[in-house]
Amino acid sequence: MRKRITIFGATGSIGENTVDLLTRQGGAEVYDVVALSGGRNVARLAEQAKALRASLAVTAFPECYEDLKAALAGSGVEAAAGPQALIEAADRPSDWIMSAIVGAAGLVPGMRALRHGTTLALANKESLVTAGPLLMATARANGARILPVDSEHSAVFQALAGEDIDAVERIIITASGGAFRDWPQEDIARATPEQASSHPNWAMGQRITVDSASMFNKALELIETKEYFGIDPGRIEAVVHPESLVHALVGFRDGGIMAHVGPPDMRHAIGYALNWPNRAELPVARLDLAEIGRLTFRPACETRWPALRLARLVMAQGGLSGAVFNGAKERALDAFLDRRIGFLQMNDVVEASLEVLSDHIVHSDTVMDLDVILHTDHLAREAAEGVISRLHAA
Ligand code: NAD
Ligand code: MG
């Protein structure tokens, strides 16, 4: 049977890489592409939908509907727009759904897809950070499967194949260190959005690139590791590895460590999830280890990168603190990109938001449904906005 495919966030960095792999693996000749979603770049979305002969293309933004419809005229691809259309796309039967919307906006379509018992290839780490227990429980209850696409988590997943999770002593995820890895600490406070938006090793969307520079990306990934693998936070470590060739390591109780090594190319992790449980030939560079010569590692310092310390706090608190952490982080990132706050103040905004909402986090710990989570995300953004306004006025 032909595999039915849906991609949320098809026009983004992960989405484009997914489309590239699908095309190389035969495109519309091999796959039934059910739906593709995108944002404001409707020209590109329409191009993808036509090339892959998708049934449906959805822009997340209602104001882009007419443009999308015009771009698809005569193609036979149906056009739709808005959050409800994303949900309806998730309701269309599909065997493999890529969740690659950026931010908490990916949560609702992803949750919806899981309810249909599909396989969800999850790049959207924000949904696991915001609603990890709910997402995992929804997958279990509906016989759905979540396959990690974040490179570190794909690496851990691969290192765990055939292993007993109880034999795992530690999971170590690597961090490139981002744009400011080698900057003196005192310069980082004055970093601009342009400087934070270039990554030494990976080509990614702007938001995750800035999150790499601040280590909020790694903070999200520590939480993602806890939620996805169900492992005690004390067993999860981060280490800085400037070459970005070792993506993660799993240490077992007998002292052995399995490391996953490969070039910094997301098409490996995406292709692994696309072809799982098989392995297909993928267009990623083959490493010449003798030429590389050495791999280096340094401590991931929680003083230099406060986001890592905040991730520890969130993992210890559990419950709704992940939703507060992510929502506040997204708002703080907007404010940094808008030049309303400085680079390091993103940490202050998130920490203060967690404090402001500490009662909410504690008291609603047991009620983890989607409405409570979305409400918490909203409260977090509001709390963050309050802190940002004060910082901006100061
Ligand atoms: P991106 O910004 O390049 O693309 C985001 C996609 O989401 C686009 O298609 C955009 O149109 C869509 N989108 C944006 N806002 C939306 C909204 N409000 N509602 C619906 N759709 C919206 O992002 P990316 O770098 O591809 O990252 C996507 C996800 O994958 C993120 O969760 C990111 O953390 C994760 N991820 C990315 C990489 C990478 O290499 N880029 C690696 C690991 C994990
Ligand atoms: Mg990653």
Q: What is the DSSP string of 212-280?
A: HHHTHHHHHHHHHHHHHH---GGGEEEEE-TT--EEEEEEETTS-EEEEE--S-HHHHHHHHHHTTS--
Please indicate whether residue 36, judged by its CB atom, sits closer than 6 Å to ligand 1: no
- Residues near 116 by beta carbon (within 8 Å), at least 6 away in sequence: 90, 91, 93, 94, 142, 144
* Domains of the chain, start order: 3-148 (3.40.50.720), 150-261+286-300 (no CATH), 319-394 (1.10.1740.10)
Q: Are 112 and 120 in contact (CB under 8 A)?
A: no
Which numbered ligand comes closest to the C-alpha of 48?
Answer: 1
The confidence score (pLDDT) of residue 248 equals 98
Ligand 1 site, residue 12, Cβ cutoff 6 A: yes
CB of 61 closer than 6 angstroms to any ligand 1 atom? no
Average confidence (pLDDT) over 49-76: 98
pLDDT at residue 368, as a whole number? 80
Q: Is 144 in the pocket of ligand 1 (CB under 6 A)?
A: no
Q: Would you state the pLDDT for residue 85?
A: 98
Mean pLDDT for 53-66 is: 98
* Among protein residues, the one whose CA lies closest to atom 25 of ligand 1: 205
Question: For the chain, first and last CA: distance in Å?
Answer: 62
Q: Hey, whose CA ends up nearest to atom 32 of ligand 1?
A: 124
The two tokens of residue 142 are 């509906």
Which of 20, 102, 377 to mutate to test ligand 1, by most ligand atoms within 8 A of the CB atom? Answer: 102
Give the sign of the dihedral formed by CA 104, CA 158, CA 12, CA 114.
Answer: negative
Q: What is the pLDDT of residue 367?
A: 62
Residue 366 is predicted with a pLDDT of: 58
CA atoms within 13 A on the CB side of 109: 36
Residue 121: which pLDDT band, with cuts at 50, 70 and 90? very high
Residue 313: Cβ-neighbour burial (10 angstroms; 0-12, 13-18, 19+): middle
pLDDT above 70 for 270:
yes
Going by C-alpha positions, the residue among 139, 104, 137, 101 that lies closest to residue 325 is 104
**Which ligand neighbours the alpha carbon of 244 most closely?**
2
Answer yes or no: is pLDDT of 57 > 90. Answer: yes
- Mapping DSSP to helix (H, G, I), strand (E, B) and coil, where does residue 17 land? helix
Where do the H-state alpha helices sit in the chain? Answer: 13-24, 42-51, 65-72, 83-91, 107-115, 125-141, 151-159, 185-188, 193-196, 206-214, 216-229, 266-275, 289-292, 306-317, 321-337, 345-356, 358-363, 370-393
Angstrom distance (rounded) from CA 26 to CA 94: 18
Contact 260, 159 (CB under 8 A): yes
**Percent share of the chain, pLDDT over 70:** 99
Q: pLDDT grade, residue 363 (50/70/90)?
A: low
Residues 343-358 have a mean pLDDT of: 98
Q: In 73-182, which residue ranges form alpha helices assigned H by DSSP? A: 83-91, 107-115, 125-141, 151-159
- For range 320-347, the mean pLDDT: 98
The predicted model scores a pTM of 0.98
pLDDT by residue (tens digit) across 200-218?
888 899 999 999 999 999 9
| Cβ 271 vs Cβ 24: under 8 Å | no
- Sole residue written with tokens 């007993």: 164
Which ligand 1 atom is the nearest neighbour of the CA of 203? 40
What mean pLDDT is predicted for residues 246-263? 98
Ligand 1 within 6 A of CB of 208: yes
205 CB near ligand 1 (under 6 Å): yes
Tally the C-alpha atoms within 13 A of residue 173's C-alpha that lie toward its C-beta: 26
- The answer to which of 40-54, 67-81, 359-373 has the lowest mean pLDDT is 359-373
Mean pLDDT of the chain: 96
**Predicted local confidence at residue 364, as pLDDT:** 56
pLDDT given at position 353: 98
Mean local confidence (pLDDT), 376-389: 98
Is residue 106 within 8 A of residue 127, CB to CB? The reply is yes
ipTM (interface pTM): 0.99
Query: Which ligand number lies closest to the CA of residue 201?
Result: 1
Q: Is the pLDDT of residue 100 over 90?
A: yes
**The two three-digit tokens of residue 388, written as one number:** 């940002």
The rounded Å distance from CA 253 to ligand 2 centre is: 25
Going from the Cα of 176 to the center of ligand 2, the distance in angstroms, rounded, reads 10
Beta 3-8 vs 96-99: how paired, if at all?
A: parallel
Asked whether residue 93 carries a pLDDT value surpassing 60, the answer given is: yes
Report CA(175)–ligand 2 centroid distance (Å). 8
